[in-house]
Amino acid sequence: MHLRSGTSDPHPPGEIAPPVRAGFVVSKAVGNAVTRNLVKRRLRHLVRDRLDRFPPGSLVVVRALPSAGEAGHEQLAHDLDTAIRRLLGGASPETPSVKCGGETKGRVPR
């Protein structure tokens, strides 16, 4: 999960920040087209309910790992919540690394 916000905001000071936007990357490693679209729909639904946690004007990119194709809705929700907590500052050591504005937070992937 990546987040762009804060000092890199291209809007002039005093201008109203645009809403939070989210994008999704689901590669062919996740599964066939039907599986990839199912994962995207589930992630879109889950992220929509969590957009209020991000600062205004943030750009959030969620990348689905290959195991997301076999994960259920509850597992995707748990993994997304864990990634958001880590991204916004509440890191836990058992979760994968998260990139924030080009800077890796948490454990570095191998």
**CA–CA separation, 97 and 75 (whole Å):** 17
Domain, as residue range, for 97: 19-105
Is the pLDDT at 80 greater than 80, yes or no?
yes
* Domain assignment of residue 83, yes or no: yes
| Cα-based distances in Å from 52 to 36, 46, 57 | 26, 12, 11
Report the distance separating Cα 40 and Cα 1, nearest Å. 14
CATH code: domain of residue 72: 3.30.230.10
Residue-wise pLDDT for 9-66, tens only, equals 555 666 787 888 999 999 999 999 999 999 999 999 999 999 999 988 889 999 999 9
Q: Is the pTM of this model over 0.75?
A: no
pLDDT top residue among 102 and 26: 26
Q: How many domains does the chain have?
A: 1
In a domain, residue 12? The reply is no
